[in-house]
Homo-oligomer: A and B are copies of this chain.
Amino acid sequence: MKNYKAKIYITLRENILDVQGKAVEHALHSLEFNNFSDVRIGKYVELIVLAQNDGQAEEMVKSACDKLIANPIIEDYTVEIIE
């Protein structure tokens, strides 16, 4: 068994309105950052997982994402495993 680091990028699905992103975009424009658009805000999770190999680590992390870390109804996620 070995420790693997996992990086998880969670984004709202394309067709879901990102209210928080819109708020940040308006705030940017009011600070005269007018060249910014399409702001979308997601989550970035780092964790350590103990597994036999990187395949098993990825499987465990995906299972945890489906059950707890992400909300598969409105969010997509990408998992990256690092030794």
Interface residues of A (CB under 8 A from B): 9-11, 21, 24-25, 27-28, 31, 33, 35-51, 60, 63-64, 67-69
Which residues of B lie under 8 Å from residue A64 when comparing CB positions? 28, 31, 33, 36
Report the bound CA distance from A78 to B31 in whole Å. Answer: 21
Asked if B49 and A35 sit within 8 Å, CB to CB, the answer is: yes
Which residues of B lie under 8 Å from residue A37 when comparing CB positions? 47-50
Identify which of A11, A33, A42 gathers the most chain B CB atoms within 10 Å of its CB. A33
A24 to chain B, nearest CB (A): 7
Which residues of B lie under 8 Å from residue A9 when comparing CB positions? 44
Asked if A41 and B39 sit within 8 Å, CB to CB, the answer is: no
